[in-house]
Amino acid sequence: MKELGRMHHDMGGQDAGPVDQADHSHPDWEKRVDALMMLLSNNKRRIIAVDELRRGIESLGSESYTKLTYYERWISSITQNLLEKGIISTDELGKKMVEVEEQAKAGHSLTGESE
């Protein structure tokens, strides 16, 4: 049952399945997202605070929050924060996304690794 005023991420005390404790590896893009956040939040830059990252993740809405993986949530929030701060624009991002997609279709590796 949905309780009034309870945000989706605030799950303490709710039923949950077993915790998957299996080891897993991180693809390169996840490591890059982590590195990007470290660079944006470090003392030299202080562009996005970790609290802002969390706020962005909590604002995803329950459907996206559930569907996205951990680092997909991070990159969604980083993107929103950078848009809000005017560091990137939606137009710039949209064009870049098309460019990257076309490169991928043309067979270039997104990660820069040999395939």
Partner 1 sequence: MALFMPGDQVTVRKAFPPGHVRTPYYIRGKSGWVQKVLGSFANPEELAYGRDGLPKCPLYRVRFMQSNVWTDYSGGQGDTVDVELYEHWLELFDILRKKEKVCL
Residues 61-100 that bind partner 1 (CB under 8 A): 84-85
Question: Where do we find the tokens 């098309």?
Answer: 98
Tell me which of 1, 2, 13, 112 binds partner 1, using CB under 8 A.
13
Span from 29-37, 47-55, 86-94, 106-114 in contact with partner 1 (CB under 8 A): 47-55
Tell me which of 26, 54, 96, 108 binds partner 1, using CB under 8 A.
54
Q: What length is written for the chain?
A: 115
Task: Report if residue 45 touches partner 1, rule: CB under 8 A.
Answer: no
Helices (H) and strands (E) in the chain, counts: 5, 0
**CA distances in angstroms from 112 to 31, 32, 107, listed in the order given:** 14, 12, 11
d(CA 23, CA 103): 32
Span from 5-13, 24-32, 86-94, 104-112 in contact with partner 1 (CB under 8 A): 5-13
On whether the CB atoms of residues 39 and 76 are closer than 8 A, the answer is no
Q: Which residues bind partner 1 (CB under 8 A)?
A: 3-7, 10, 12-13, 49, 51-52, 54-55, 58, 84-85
